[in-house]
Amino acid sequence: MTRLSVNINKIATLRNTREGNVPNVKLAAINCEKFGAQGITVHPRPDGRHIRYSDVKDLKSIVNTEFNIEGYPNRSFLDLVLEVIPNQVTLVPDAPEAITSNAGWNTITHKELLKTVISELKAAGIRVSLFVGADVKMIEGAAFLGADRIELYTEPYATAYPLNPIQAVEPFILAAKRAKELNLGVNAGHDLSLHNLKFFKQSIPNLLEVSIGHALIADALYLGLELTILKYKDCLK
């Protein structure tokens, strides 16, 4: 079964609109795991507009499943993850001030940066995943640089899915097959939802993990967190 990692950034975004600690990010992580999430994902940025560096440090002692930290590999981010030592670091190419990730790495253009960073993280015993589009050349680059996994950037799939699901998923099937040939694990994330997740999972049998935040937290406002997590996990069976 594909693992569900819940991105709790949006919990922190809501908290940060007021002073205080409501909603409580640590309690949200505890409840996500209690309700069946198999991982917790966070994406801290230097401006602290959602998950803060202090949250990441606090969560380390609380997360009992898999802790996945996403981010752009500037020095402050690398120092943070090397202090915390999560199970997985997912490197994303967006600048620290970006609203959200909107593209995958060009693993050829940025090969020198990525090779150095991947080596540093793996030396600390951290599994490294690179956020990439469904581009075979970029996936081959990820393997050449020594990444353990890729995370497929699925916004193009989510956008095209309502019009033609088969056509929307085809590039991702090809990408996942090539990753498997290169002994890369395959994760996926961005705009996956209850509407499109099941078909994506059925189409990509070697999918190890999905990281979902915005849609899942939004659904939880209507369905409740426990039922929402159960519904997402049902899509991944």
Give the residue numbers marked as catalytic: 43, 70, 190
8 A C-beta contact, residue 28 and residue 217: no
- Pairing label, strands 127-132, 149-153: parallel
CA trace torsion 158, 159, 161, 162 (10° rounding): 130
8 A C-beta contact, residue 153 and residue 103: yes
191 C-beta neighbours (distance < 10 Å), count: 17
H/E stretch holding 40 = strand 39-42
Which has the closest alpha carbon to 213: 1, 4, 27, 6?
A: 6
8 A C-beta contact, residue 37 and residue 5: yes
Q: Which alpha helices (H) appear in 24-135, and where do they start and end?
A: 25-34, 53-60, 75-84, 111-123
